[in-house]
Amino acid sequence: MSSSSSPPAAKKARKEEEEPEEEEELPEEEEAEPEETDEGADLRPEKPKLEKIIGIHQDEKKVKHFLCKFQDGTIDSRTNQQMIRW
C-alpha cells in the first residue's frame, strides 16, 4: 500500500512546484493583457491627470468615494478600489 500512496504524493509535489512558477508568470501576463485588449489600450491615453480630491464620502456599505477634480476640468466620483487601479 505504501507504493500506491507515493505516486500521488509525487504528483502533489509537482503541482506545488508548478504553482509558484505560474505566479511568477502572472505579472508578465498582466502587463501583456492591456496591450492585447482594445479596452486597455483605449483607456490609457484617455486617463486625465488628477488635480485634487475635493471631498470624501463613505456610503452605507462603508465604501469610501472620492470626489475628484481632474486637470481637464471634469469632476468624477471614484471608489477606493478605482483609485488604486487608476
54-82 in b/e form (b: 16+ CB < 10 A) is eeeeeeeeeeebbebbeeeeeeeebeeee
* Mean pLDDT value across residues 43-66: 84
Quick one: pLDDT at residue 80?
85
pLDDT-derived band at 83, boundaries 50, 70, 90: confident
pTM: 0.42
